[in-house]
Structure 1
Amino acid sequence: MTAPLARRALGELVGTAALVAVVVGSGIQATELTDDVALQLLANSLATVFGLGVLIALLGPLSGAHFNPAVTLAAWWTGRRNQDGPDRRDVAAYIAAQIAGGVGGTILANAMFAEPLTRLSTHDRSAGHLWLAEVVATAGLVLLALGLARTGQQRLSPLVVASYIGAAYWFTSSTSFANPAVTIARAFSDSFAGIAPASVPPFVAAQFLGAAFGVCLVAALFGHLPAPKDRARVSSGEHELTATGH
């Protein structure tokens, strides 16, 4: 049976908070341990991969482990005709929970390292190649998450999605934020993982554009319906989209 919406939204809040705490906290820790930027990025990416895999495995069966407004909207859009995805009420609750959880995760990470609880980032990320990287990263994430649902391979989500995010840290110039809620949250940490508030709107716009491309790729590659053997699971709300970004 599908869990009540309040419980699923709580799962999205807790999951997004934990994800952001991992990303921001590991970024702060890395800069305290070494001045080598490559090692800082390696530490940050490894912590994110391990943390994300655990969160997907734990919360995927409850809420789908979206942790990402772009993914939630993509799931709603692709499922709206056949009613095999979240409805508008789910979308509103999920997105609110994801943003609140993300900001809460940043505050928690700052507190754990004796940083100001909220300090706006000065890390400017305003450049066309970074926006392009966010389009690519988010499109790939949505394609992967919805593609796993279409092909009945949700059980692989903790490993596959976490692996993709780890790789995208390195093959995209933006280090693959790929998540509007996490992007907003990271503006409140003036650390290695932060993003200046002025850089947030273009990043978020690029992420939603990437999500749209991802949805188009899913339709072109896999069609509009889930794999037959998984259709009942998807319609019952037990699907694990698990497309989080970081």
Structure 2
Amino acid sequence: MKDTLELIKERKSIRGLFDSKKSMGKEDLHKILEACSWAPTAHNMQNFEIVVVDDKTLLQSIGNIKYTISKTYIKENYPHLSFSEEEFRKRKTGLLSTRFTATPKDDQKEITNDFIGKFLKATDVLLVFLYDPNRRAPASEGDFLGIMSLGCIMENMWLMANSLGIGVQIVSALIGGPVEKEVKRILNIPDHLRIAFSCRLGYPVVGEPKLARVRRDVVDFTHINKY
């Protein structure tokens, strides 16, 4: 068993295809789902449901949906990009520009995201996390505590998957608008439930190059006794 801090530091997003020769076992999947069940939630409301999608026909259907990157998304990501590894390591936040090729200079209102469909079609397991927006946590304006709870569920899921050698990529493209409506139709999700987030699960391809990763040092964000 790996040290907890080591697991946390190794956790990362797999932005690519998984190993098609390896399939996830039911026992490992159950461990990941059980880790979700033990995540802390506001007032122990456990306001979440999970749709496990491993049917290749359904994954094909979800992958065939048209996914786009909006102009707003591009514009708001651009200030957080670093254009060299040296700049990336100095800033300690954001992403390298190589992970995000579109720029605000693009004239298109939206850009088709072909990678999402490609990755979803080749995914071993897709988890779709749902919540009921009508079940607000007590005394929580905008259900802030409920949203925090969903984050705890995501982290439990991710760390358990990492401990089993299973890669994860959060897929935010399924949330909102006509895409979410179509996913809900394909998976027969009731109208009163919303998609909180989704994630692809699979085994990383051995030998893929390691990408630079950065975090602020503890002294950069810690304030002792006062700000």
Tell me whether the two structures share a fold, i.e. TM-score over 0.5: no
Q: Which has the higher strand share?
A: 2
Q: Which has the higher helix share?
A: 1
Normalised by the size of structure 1, how large is the TM-score? 0.26
Normalised by the size of structure 2, how large is the TM-score? 0.28
Task: Look at both structures and tell me which one has the larger radius of gyration over its CA atoms.
Answer: 2
